[in-house]
Amino acid sequence: MFSRVYPDKNPSYSENGDLFKELWKDAIIQQQNDKVVWNIGFRGQGDRPF
């Protein structure tokens, strides 16, 4: 998601935390009337178990 919107930026939260927060905020606003189940968790580095 981040790299598609900001292809010239490093996808690092420590470097670009404000940009990540803005993307998340926009996604929440766009989906606020949808029935969404939010699952917050860490799936592992590279989407593999750690």
Q: Please report the pLDDT score of residue 38 as a whole number.
A: 74
Question: Tell me: the pLDDT tens digits for 13-22?
Answer: 999 999 999 9
Please, which pLDDT band fits residue 5 given cuts at 50, 70 and 90?
Answer: very high
Cα distance between residue 6 and residue 22, in whole Å? 12
Spatial contact of 19 and 2, defined as CB atoms under 8 Å apart: yes
Which residue in the block uniquely carries the two structure tokens 């905020």?
Answer: 25
